[in-house]
């Protein structure tokens, strides 16, 4: 791909870097946005994911004039409830109990700020169904520590893959970035055009 302007990833997520590399895109710079990710009162999961992705992209774009800046956020939702990015084991345990034997949604907010300041956004929804988990399975998963910092307390690309009975929609969205939609946004704004 011939680059027309630099490409900045407004995320510290190693998963997003790996996903972009999978489609042949390497950011020129990784500049994480440090924003408050607390949901607003009454905020639904979809608008929350979009707001965070846009806030990240706009903040980082203010530091990199004339660049493509990509912001993203992943939200795991059970109904209208936004599950946390698990920081402590009790949060992860509560998430797994809630997700056990149920269907949930993973909402990926994507926002691209183009060099001319145009802002485009996409919301990608993936449906995931977990099998019913027994206590031993939950304990073994939690003991591995893979849940740390993960939305909903699990990483589908890791050991939690054995919990997943069904995925409807973008798998890469659940990992951290919907690649089809991200590529479409970048191409639509002229990134990589000769």
Active site residues: 73
Please list the alpha-helical segments (H only) found in the chain.
Answer: 14-22, 45-61, 89-99, 135-144, 171-175, 179-188
Q: Is the four-CA dihedral 180, 163, 17, 77 of positive or negative sign?
A: positive
In this structure, the number of other CB atoms found within 10 A of the CB of residue 34 comes to 9
- C-alpha distances out from residue 128 to 99, 131, 145, 152, Å: 9, 10, 21, 12
In this structure, the number of other CB atoms found within 10 A of the CB of residue 194 comes to 5
Tokens of 72: 């993203």
The angle subtended at Cα 194 by Cα 123 and Cα 111, nearest 5°, is 15
Which three-class secondary structure state does DSSP give residue 80?
A: coil
Give the DSSP H or E segment for 103.
Answer: strand 103-113
């Amino acid at each position: 791909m011939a680059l027309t302007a630099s490409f900045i990833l407004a995320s510290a997520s190693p998963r997003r870097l790996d996903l972009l590399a999978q489609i042949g895109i390497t950011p020129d710079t990784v500049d994480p946005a440090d924003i408050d990710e607390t949901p607003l009162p009454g905020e639904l999961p979809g608008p929350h994911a979009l707001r965070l992705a846009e806030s990240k992209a706009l903040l980082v774009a203010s530091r990199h004039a004339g660049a493509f800046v990509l912001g993203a956020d992943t939200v795991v939702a059970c109904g209208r409830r936004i599950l946390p990015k698990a920081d402590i084991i009790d949060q992860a345990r509560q998430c797994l109990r809630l997700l056990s034997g149920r269907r949930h949604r993973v909402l990926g907010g994507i926002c691209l700020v183009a060099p001319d300041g145009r802002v485009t956004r996409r919301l990608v929804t993936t449906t995931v169904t977990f099998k019913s988990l027994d206590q031993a399975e939950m304990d073994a998963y939690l003991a591995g520590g893979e849940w740390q910092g993960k939305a909903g307390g699990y990483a589908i690309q890791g050991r939690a893959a054995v919990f997943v009975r069904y995925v409807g929609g973008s798998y890469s969205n659940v990992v951290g970035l919907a690649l089809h939609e991200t590529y479409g946004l970048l191409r639509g704004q002229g990134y990589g055009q000769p």
